Chains A and B, each alone.
Chain A
Amino acid sequence: MASTQRRPLVFAALLAIAMVAALSAQAGEVKVASEGTYKPFSYFTAGGQLTGFDVELAAAICKAAGLDCVMVTMDYDGMMVALKEKKIDVIDSGMSITAKRKKVVAFTDRTRTSGKRFVSCAPDKFKKSGPEDLKGDIVGTQADTTSADYIKAFYAGSDIRLYKSMDEAFADLSAGRLDLALSQDATGYAFISSPAGKGCAFVGDRLDDPKFFGEGVGLALRQSDAEIVAALNAGLRKILADGTYKALNDKYFPFSV
């Protein structure tokens, strides 16, 4: 039967396709990971283009540092493990610089501040945001973040929901599955200004207790990659000095991040 003779060839061909598609050995590149689902810091446009403040910032820093950077996306909850396993080299996902994290990873200098605020889509109902005020309400944020640690520490009386991405948390917020969401103020601002965030507003004051939220947001790398950290810091200083940072800041936000 002819097909019996063809079949092994077909298998071999399929196997070859699989191997070729999978092989992506590269050397010398620096893989920078962001989420792709984190407006306005990292998101996809309609044409499938990855863009956002964090993405453009990382690109600018790399260029100033003379590094060959490749932007990839992955879910936030897999990033630390991926960094450890050398799948990626830099985490560019709004990670706050905390003492706890510094034990496991190395951070660059601060790329932006990391104040957090609560957002609610029923702002008349939720005027205050203390732990007592939110007892029994549904509060949510992204899993494995400093916001998550904060909520778990102080809002144990509320129903806590942890999401894979901040975009998902905001989707549930505007759908009414969440009463309040805790996020970085820039993210919250972007959401409130978007059509999905109509009618939503900040609740309560800015939270920036350094004990929880660290000294700002930075890029995270493996501790063994000290030279890359130094190179990125040099690049960061350069773009702060020559106005590239400010231009990028103004492009995305009406306030300084």
Chain B
Amino acid sequence: MLQVLQFGPGGWGGELAAGLAVTLALAASALPLGLIGGLALAFATHSRRAWVRESAAALAGAFRGIPELLTLFLVFIGGQRLINLALPLLGLNGRFEFSGFLAGTLTLGLVFGAYASEVFLGVLKTLDGSSIEAARALGLGRWPVLRFIILPELFRLGLPGLSNLWLSTVKQSALVSVVACDELMRKSYLGATSTGDHILFYGVACLCYIAITTASEAALAAWHRRLSRGRSRG
């Protein structure tokens, strides 16, 4: 039985390992998109213009309410369609393949951003203005205040919530297998369908996911402890 899993041309071990790498790449690529998107949505919710506020709320609500699998389908087909429309408009002649990986990255990023905005909004509510007032008194401008005061605080206080989102994202990456992206779940599916050893392949896949999530959880908790060093009550 274990022979099926060996690395090298005879077994599926190499394929599964490659799939694992793609899974991690998917989640890692979605991360910057999601963080930036979440910040943008959170700040947009505090805009003075009503239409910006309401659009942000609607967008976030929509992507929190649509199942990730369906969002993936919409992005996959819709994205390809948009590209097909846009290329002739831009005068380009070639063809751009909107790959499953790209659709997966965008989907995971969008969903991450929608939930991250909630995390950031919650953190923003608890911030008081004392450190900002101090910085302003020292003569720091808007951008440095944002970069050195607000963002680090947002990040540190939001880390527990964001850690959960990271774990969700890693697990949701398994859905991208449905659009023929060769990550871990798809490789397990192909192996299982090809050999009939369903329990073996899906069991191994589950063990891999457990390994990733447990390791991530431990690392993120340690990071949070380190960031909260020397502070009372977070």
Touching chains A and B, CB distance < 8 Å: yes
Instruction: Please report the C-alpha to C-alpha distance between residue A46 and residue B28 in the assembled complex, in whole angstroms.
Output: 28
- Say whether B80 contacts A22, CB under 8 Å: no
Q: In the complex, which of the residues A1, A14, A81 contacts B152, with contact meaning CB atoms closer than 8 Å?
A: A1
- Say whether B151 contacts A86, CB under 8 Å: no
- Say whether A171 contacts B193, CB under 8 Å: yes
- Say whether B77 contacts A85, CB under 8 Å: yes
- Say whether A21 contacts B97, CB under 8 Å: no
Instruction: Please report the C-alpha to C-alpha distance between residue A31 and residue B193 in the assembled complex, in whole angstroms.
Output: 24
Instruction: Please report the C-alpha to C-alpha distance between residue A169 and residue B94 in the assembled complex, in whole angstroms.
Output: 39
A-B pairs, 7 with minimum CB distance = A18-B29, A22-B102, A47-B9, A11-B32, A74-B180, A85-B80, A48-B15
- Listed A/B pairs (30) with beta-carbon separation below 8 Å: A1-B152, A4-B147, A11-B35, A11-B36, A14-B31, A15-B29, A15-B32, A17-B29, A21-B29, A22-B101, A24-B96, A24-B97, A24-B99, A25-B95, A37-B190, A37-B193, A45-B194, A46-B4, A46-B9, A46-B11, A46-B12, A47-B9, A47-B10, A74-B179, A81-B77, A168-B193, A171-B196, A171-B198, A195-B196, A196-B196
CB-CB under 8 A from A73, the residues of chain B are: 180
Q: How large is the interface on A (under 10, 10 to 19, 20 to 34, 35 or more residues)?
A: 35 or more
A251 → chain B closest CB, angstroms: 19
**Smallest CB-CB separation from B32: which chain A residue?**
A11
Interface string of A6-39 (1 = CB under 8 A from B): 0000011011011001111111000100001101
Interface string of B73-108 (1 = CB under 8 A from A): 000010011001000000001111111011001000
- Residues of chain B at interface, number, CB under 8 A: 46
Q: In the complex, which of the residues A25, A43, A75, A195 contacts B94, with contact meaning CB atoms closer than 8 Å?
A: A25
Interface string of B1-40 (1 = CB under 8 A from A): 0001000111110110010000001001111110110000
Interface of A (DSSP majority class): mixed
- Say whether A27 contacts B194, CB under 8 Å: no
- Asked whether any CB of chain A lies closer than 8 Å to the CB of B148, the reply is yes
CB-CB under 8 A from A12, the residues of chain B are: 32
- Asked whether any CB of chain B lies closer than 8 Å to the CB of A87, the reply is yes
**Smallest CB-CB separation from B195: which chain A residue?**
A46
Contacting B at CB under 8 A, from A52-108, are 72-75, 78, 81-82, 85-87
A217 → chain B closest CB, angstroms: 22
CB-CB under 8 A from A179, the residues of chain B are: none
- Say whether A27 contacts B94, CB under 8 Å: yes
Contacting A at CB under 8 A, from B188-225, are 190-191, 193-196, 198
- Asked whether any CB of chain B lies closer than 8 Å to the CB of A44, the reply is yes
Q: In the complex, which of the residues A17, A47, A72 contacts B25, with contact meaning CB atoms closer than 8 Å?
A: A17
- Say whether B97 contacts A25, CB under 8 Å: yes
- Asked whether any CB of chain A lies closer than 8 Å to the CB of B178, the reply is yes
Instruction: Please report the C-alpha to C-alpha distance between residue A78 and residue B73 in the assembled complex, in whole angstroms.
Output: 10
- Say whether A15 contacts B33, CB under 8 Å: yes
CB-CB under 8 A from B148, the residues of chain A are: 4
